[in-house]
Amino acid sequence: MGHAEKPTLLRVLDRLGALTTLLLSLFLVHWRGLAEGCLDGLAVGFLLRSVLTREWHWCRQGFVWPALVWWGWLVLCSLPRQVPVPAEATASFTQALLAIRFPVAAFALAFWTL
């Protein structure tokens, strides 16, 4: 049996994911803005890797669906209720939509880099 080597893009993605995971702990302590960037990078990298490898088995894990339900509830609770929509409501809704990066980054740590 021969060992198939990973394509270059996956190797680079895996190394970037590992480096980002290592830097995350440092940045959480000293530079929170950079830590947010690391979380975003982990989330995007993980989803990109899942698309490239067609590996979505992590979706069937027990804590994934409750996290996604929480995010859906967050989005639902932040839906604008006024017309015209005030700027604060738009900002709240946008922030709720973007909050998906936190559970996806946790999935990346659990199923990819750690």
How far is it, in rounded angstroms, from Cα 57 to Cα 15?
A: 21
Contact 90, 71 (CB under 8 A): no
pLDDT digits over 20-38, tens only? 999 998 999 999 999 999 9
pLDDT band, residue 2 (cuts 50/70/90): low
Among 44, 59, 50, 56, CA closest to 105: 44
The more confident residue out of 6 and 81 is 81
The more confident residue out of 108 and 4 is 108
pLDDT digits over 66-109, tens only? 999 999 999 999 998 888 888 888 999 999 999 999 999 999 99
pTM of the model: 0.85
Q: Does the pLDDT of residue 63 top 80, yes or no? A: yes
